[in-house]
């Protein structure tokens, strides 16, 4: 248990609830317990949905998994589709894909990362970065960005749209398409589709580079505040390529400690369960993973763009590598700890994905119809990819009737559970202690959560106009103070 996770005397404290957290994927809330002097004694991030996918996928045929699991999420269905596809590849003995199948999956994956990173940075977070964390709530939404910074907004919209075009070309639809089947892909890319993507690629690199500039400049603009905001020492986990390069589709596990020392490296993704355990706590539906070698107290870690940038030795595309070097210089070649640096790392990845898409569209393999391999059937499959928000693990066991007997899914937001809780505790102490609570102050808490781009489930993401009610209730259950923000932005 960590500092501020559980107060010793909760019944005597005032309770503040932020519900829902806006501009994140899905539904969550933050609860704060404060004492009579408004000093925060407890802060928790709660995920209020229960999805149960691991349970109800049991009993379904294994070839259904890549299709069914997409319904986990309307934002990152491609990530779940591909992770499940990789797992099922192992079950049919087809994990060594043909070059065309592998490259088509990578193309869809880069399209997914491009569109989702653009969505998060421009539509969900740019209002905080452009207007200020405590700016007028009425303008803290994407439509205000469109009004005041239309050029930035248009780039965000077009980057997201292009990523979705790539997905649609490979998987048939922007959302919930299909493509990955056991041992390969079910559809070749047609030359006309490839040519359309090449035509539409114009400006994508330029806009991606602009996005990195915006993310870096907004991070550096307010120092040392942004470096301290939600900052923490943590371990880092990600896949890397065997030579240490940033790798998003397939690779080996690397873990670093807060000083950048290797905890383990070169670990096969098929052995994840030997290194990662999950702990259940009675106040959250979301589990708390940790590195088994370090135990639950010291073994929690961060995943996602920040971890990937801290863990890799280099990026194999030139523009993104140049940006990574600046990032590494900022961190003095040690892991960058600031939560807000997630945005910077995320946009470097967006640039990398754009470069990779360009490379793949020029690759003649991408049009090949040699898309399937077969092998020996096994009863267990593990698929791991670096999804938008971090490491995504799908693990299935299948019975002799081809039905899924057991499923274990560890998603990026779960890996980052402890880190997000640490971030809100740090920000709550820094910003709220001793202050009369108001909406702008509370947005700091939401900014800390948003930095991790959590996908709290899948269904809804607000744009900043969601009605928000904050109530301060004393230990007798009496309402002491309340604030309400209506859908039109009015605070009363």
Answer for which of 297, 378, 467, 490 binds other proteins (CB under 8 A) is 467
Q: How far apart are CA 331 and CA 149, in angstroms?
A: 30
Q: Which stretch binds other proteins (CB under 8 A): 153-161, 229-237, 240-248, 366-374?
A: 153-161
- Does 174 bind other proteins (CB under 8 A)? Our answer is yes
Q: How far apart are CA 125 and CA 450, in angstroms?
A: 7
Which one, 147 or 217, has the nearer CB to other proteins? 147
Q: Least separation, in Å, of the C-beta of 8 and other proteins?
A: 38
Which one, 131 or 142, has the nearer CB to other proteins? 142
- Does 466 bind other proteins (CB under 8 A)? Our answer is yes
Answer for which of 169, 246, 385, 470 binds other proteins (CB under 8 A) is 169
- Does 490 bind other proteins (CB under 8 A)? Our answer is no
Site string for other proteins, 102-131 (x = CB under 8 A): ---------------------x--------
Mapped onto helix, strand or coil, the DSSP state of residue 469 is strand
- Does 158 bind other proteins (CB under 8 A)? Our answer is yes
Structure tokens at 473: 């209730």
Q: Least separation, in Å, of the C-beta of 164 and other proteins?
A: 7
- Does 157 bind other proteins (CB under 8 A)? Our answer is yes
**Residue (of 385, 456, 382) closest to 416 by Cα position:** 456
Q: Within a 13 Å sphere around the CA of 478, how many CA atoms are in the beta-carbon half?
A: 3
- Does 329 bind other proteins (CB under 8 A)? Our answer is no
375 within 8 A of 92, measured Cβ to Cβ: yes
Residues across the chain:
492
Element of type H or E holding 410? strand 404-410
Site residues for other proteins, 64-93, by CB under 8 A, read 74
- Does 462 bind other proteins (CB under 8 A)? Our answer is yes
Answer for which of 2, 9, 12, 196 binds other proteins (CB under 8 A) is 196
- Contact partners, residue 391, CB within 8 Å, separation at least 6: 237, 238, 239, 303, 384, 385, 410, 412, 415
> DSSP readout, 358-402?
HHHHT-GGGG----B------SEEEEEEEETTEEEEEEEEE-TTS
80 within 8 A of 389, measured Cβ to Cβ: no
Q: Least separation, in Å, of the C-beta of 106 and other proteins?
A: 18
Report CA dihedral (154, 156, 160, 166) to the nearest 10 degrees. 80
- Does 60 bind other proteins (CB under 8 A)? Our answer is no
Site residues for other proteins, 441-460, by CB under 8 A, read 459-460
Q: Least separation, in Å, of the C-beta of 273 and other proteins?
A: 33
- Does 319 bind other proteins (CB under 8 A)? Our answer is no
Structure tokens at 472: 């301060």
Residue ranges binding other proteins (CB under 8 A) = 74, 123, 142-143, 146-147, 150, 153-154, 157-158, 160-161, 164-165, 168-169, 173-176, 192-193, 196, 459-463, 465-467, 487-488
């Amino acid at each position: 248990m960590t500092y501020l996770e559980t107060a010793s005397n909760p019944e005597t404290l005032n309770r503040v609830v932020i519900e829902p957290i806006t501009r994140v994927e899905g539904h969550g809330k933050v609860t704060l317990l404060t004492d009579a002097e408004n000093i925060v004694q407890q802060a928790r991030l709660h995920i209020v949905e229960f999805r149960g996918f691991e349970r109800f996928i049991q009993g379904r045929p294994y070839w259904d998994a890549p299709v069914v699991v997409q319904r986990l999420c309307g934002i990152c269905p491609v990530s779940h589709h591909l992770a499940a596809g990789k797992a099922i590849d192992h079950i049919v003995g087809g994990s060594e894909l043909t070059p065309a199948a592998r490259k088509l999956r990578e193309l869809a994956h880069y399209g997914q990362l491009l569109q989702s990173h653009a969505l998060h940075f421009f539509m969900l977070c740019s209002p905080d970065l452009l207007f200020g964390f405590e700016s007028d709530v009425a303008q803290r939404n994407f439509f205000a960005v469109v009004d005041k910074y239309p050029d930035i907004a248009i780039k965000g919209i077009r980057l997201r749209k292009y990523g979705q075009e790539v997905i649609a070309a490979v998987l048939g639809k922007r959302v919930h398409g299909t493509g990955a089947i056991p041992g390969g892909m079910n559809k070749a890319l047609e030359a006309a589709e490839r040519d359309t993507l090449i035509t539409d690629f114009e400006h994508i690199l330029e806009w991606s580079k602009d996005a990195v500039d915006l993310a870096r400049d907004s991070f550096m603009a307010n120092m040392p505040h942004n470096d301290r905001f939600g900052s923490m020492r943590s371990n880092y986990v990600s896949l890397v390529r065997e030579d240490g390069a940033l790798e998003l589709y397939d690779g080996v596990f690397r873990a670093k400690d807060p000083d950048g020392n290797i905890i383990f490296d070169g670990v096969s993704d098929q052995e994840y369960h030997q290194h990662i355990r999950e702990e259940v706590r009675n106040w959250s539906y979301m589990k708390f993973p940790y590195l088994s070698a370090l135990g639950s107290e010291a073994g929690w870690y961060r995943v996602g763009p920040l971890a990937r940038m801290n863990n890799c030795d280099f990026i194999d595309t030139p523009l993104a590598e140049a940006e990574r070097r600046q990032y590494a210089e900022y961190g003095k070649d040690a892991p960058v700890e600031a939560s807000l640096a997630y945005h910077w790392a995320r946009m470097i990845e967006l640039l990398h994905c754009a470069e990779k898409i360009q490379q793949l569209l020029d690759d003649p393999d991408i049009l090949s119809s040699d898309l399937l391999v077969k092998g020996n059937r096994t009863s267990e499959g593990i698929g791991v990819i670096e999804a938008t928000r971090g490491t995504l693990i799908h693990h299935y066991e299948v019975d002799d009737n081809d039905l899924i007997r057991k499923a274990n899914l560890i998603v990026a937001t779960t890996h980052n559970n402890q880190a997000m809780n640490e971030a809100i505790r740090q920000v709550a102490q820094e910003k709220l202690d001793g202050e009369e609570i108001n909406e702008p102050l509370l947005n700091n808490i939401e900014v800390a959560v948003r930095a991790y781009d959590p996908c709290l489930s899948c269904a809804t993401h607000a744009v900043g106009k969601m009605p928000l009610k904050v109530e301060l209730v004393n230990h007798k259950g009496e309402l002491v103070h309340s604030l309400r923000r209506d859908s039109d932005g009015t605070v009363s």
